[in-house]
Structure 1
Amino acid sequence: MENKVDDLFLLIEAHRNLFTNVEQQIADYFIGKRPMLSITDLAKTIAVSPPSITRFCKKLGLNNYKELNFLYSLSLSDQTKDASEISTPVTASYHALATRSDAAYRSQSVKNFCDLIDANRIIMFWGLGFNSFAGSDFEFKFARLGKVVQVYSDQHSISLSAHLLQPNDLVLIASLKGLDKDMLASVKVGHSKGAKFLMITANEDSPIIDYCEETIYAASFSNDEALGNISPQIPILIQLDIVYSKYTKQHQANIGKWLQSEDILKK
């Protein structure tokens, strides 16, 4: 039975890249292990049509919604109430978020990111609110590779640093929504001074993108995830980990510095 349960959720995640936006919404409902409903009630709950749910079942290789419901009931049968209400939905959300991050991966964009980081010894990190939390992680990782990282986490400091930028200075912006008007104004100031910008965002329509040398797209939150069950900086951190992993492989000349810092930390 447990294998069957696992097969259902693996089946859903294995087809993530093939789903339409509506099907992603249906998938998130089941991955979140929410209450089992009739096809009519489910359609009303998540605001999709019953035929869309039927097509979702077919895309998974199932005959109909009844078969999906049967497998879904098996997946919930061995869960305790506490696990169903707390642990399982959270871990399922992390799993879904990781899957969407993988789907958004663009090798050339990450390579370009790494090349620009490698070309600059001093890197500024701009992030407001929860986006700024990722700055400390970025600083810790890349300082061990010989980079000097300056993290700016409030708008006043960001605005001030923008006016002090010089040609070819590098700034990494972390902004999941990418819509902050003050941040955009600071980017415009820095861009006019010849600085270069990198960005990690979940918003492909962010106006800041036009001023960036390269942009990496993080996974966006589903409606349930946006309620706060998942720490909001996680999508940014996932992308930074991807960049760091790629960088250490792509620029191995810096690995010696990394090993030296590891020795220092162990003392």
Structure 2
Amino acid sequence: MAEKVDDLFLLIESKRNDFTDVEQVIADYFISKRAILSISNLAKEISVSAPSITRFSKKLGLNNYKELVFLYKMSLSDQTKDASLISTPVTASYHALATRSDAAYRSQAVQNFCDLIYSTRIILFWGLGFNSFAGQDFEFKFTRLGKFIQVFSDQHSISLSASSLKKNDVVLISSLSGNDPDILEAVKNGRKKGAHFLLITTNEDSPFIDYCDETIYAASFSSNEALGNISPQIPVLIQLDIIYSKYISMHKKSAGKWLLSENILKK
């Protein structure tokens, strides 16, 4: 080869500004990672001449089309190896979470969540750290259904909100560990005032459970498994999607009316 190259795709993009219109068509074929063809078949496939393909190869610093095909195969192989090192464990983790979420599913618990959510217009969401991101997702979904959601994402604001709770207020807690002492104290205070609590956690021994009206258990990984390669709020988001889907199916009429009025106001 005329010059040392390691990745055909990077090489093509580095030369983009020098390509003719015909060469752009050839470049797009390889960037799209399409099938390897003989020079004559490729010329027919993309409606260019064989000499144009040869010139394209040389413009990349290669001697001929044969060298281009060799580099193309090598570049595809490198990307496949990279995908197997990264993509497969990540997708396997997602698959494991989905499977474990399905195994842990309790229809009555989800229905109880939905009943409490339906019973009130104002819902407080308590979640520290990454749990607050799940709270934002919950807020986005249920605000569209006419609920007023307040997300509290630090211990100080959670404690303050607990002090102002009233009878029949509803609080949804997201805590995978389920053992924060400050949140536990806030739950106890709120419970004394007659507030209702819902909990999403992975900890079946959480001290929160005794003070909550209902608990949903999110999927989790053992200490020997790799949760670190996916976003930690994913197990909670899966449960929130399950709750939202169940809520919609249980209250189609009221949800439909709210969404219809919302769409009318947007016009």
TM range (shorter): 0.5 to 0.7
**Displacement, 1:263?**
5.6
Cα distance in 1 between the residues matched to 2:141 and 2:265: 14
Q: Distance in 2 between matches of 1:86 and 1:245?
A: 31
Q: Confirm or deny that 1:261 pairs with 2:267.
A: no
Q: Secondary structure at 2:114's aligned position in 1?
A: helix
Any idea what SS the aligned residue of 2:130 has? helix
Identity value in percent: 72
Following superposition, the deviation at residue 92 of structure 1 comes to 1.1
**Matches of 2:124 and 2:243 in 1, distance apart?**
16
Aligned position for 2:61: none
Q: 2:180 is matched with which residue?
A: 180
The 2-side partners of 1:252 and 1:115 are apart by 14
Distance 1:120 1:91 in 2: 38
Q: How does 1:198-217 map to 2 (within 5 A)?
A: 198-217=198-217
Per-residue CA deviation, residues 36-59 of structure 1 (Å, 9 max, x unaligned), is xxxxxxxxxxxxxxxxxxxxxxxx
**How far is the alpha carbon of 1:84 from its aligned partner?**
1.6
Map of 2:34 onto structure 1: none
| Residue 258 of structure 1, CA deviation | 2.2
SS for the counterpart of 1:82 is: helix
2:246 alignment partner, SS class:
helix
Structure 2 CA distance for aligned equivalents of residues 253 and 167 of structure 1: 28
Number of residues paired by the alignment? Answer: 188
**Gapped regions of structure 1 (runs ≥ 5):** 1-78
What one-letter code is carried by the residue in structure 1 that aligns with 2:132? Answer: S
Which structure 2 residues correspond to residues 247-258 of structure 1 after superposition, within 5 A?
A: 247-254=247-254, 255-258=256-259
- Cross-structure match for 1:242: 242
Instruction: Please state how far the C-alpha of 1:262 moved relative to its aligned partner.
Output: 4.7
Q: What does the per-residue CA deviation read over 1:197-235, in whole Å, with 9 as the maximum and x for residues that have no partner?
A: 000011110000100001111001243333x20100000
**Any idea what SS the aligned residue of 1:242 has?**
helix
Distance 2:189 2:226 in 1: 34
Once residues 101 and 262 of structure 1 are traced to their aligned partners in structure 2, the CA distance between those partners, rounded to angstroms, is 33
CA distance in 1, matches of 2:163, 2:97: 36
1:116 aligns with 2:116: yes
| Alpha-carbon spacing, 1:88–1:125, altered in 2? closer, same or farther (3 Å) | same
| Runs (4+) off by over 6 Å | none
TM-score with structure 1 length normalisation? 0.67
RMSD: 1.7
Q: 1:155 to 1:215 in 2, by over 3 A?
A: same
Q: Equivalent residues in 2 for 1:105-144 (5 A)?
A: 105-144=105-144
Structure-1 separation of matches of 2:237 and 2:263: 21
The Cα shift of 1:261 comes to: 3.0
Inter-CA distance 221–264: structure 2 relative to 1 (3 Å threshold): farther
TM-score of the superposition, structure 2-length normalised?
A: 0.67
Amino acid at match of 1:195: A
Pairwise CA distance, 1:81: 1.7
Report the equivalent of 1:225.
226
* Alignment match, 2:4: none
Unaligned runs of 5+ in 2: 1-78
Cα deviations across residues 171-192 of structure 1 (Å, max 9, x unaligned)?
Answer: 0000011011111011011111
Provide the residue aligned with 2:149 in structure 1. Answer: 149
Distance 1:115 1:194 in 2: 17
Q: Which amino acid aligns with 1:225?
A: A
Distance 2:120 2:141 in 1: 15
Letter in 1 for 2:226: E
Question: Structure 1 CA distance, aligned partners of 2:201 and 2:265?
Answer: 34
- Which residue does 2:193 correspond to in 1? 193
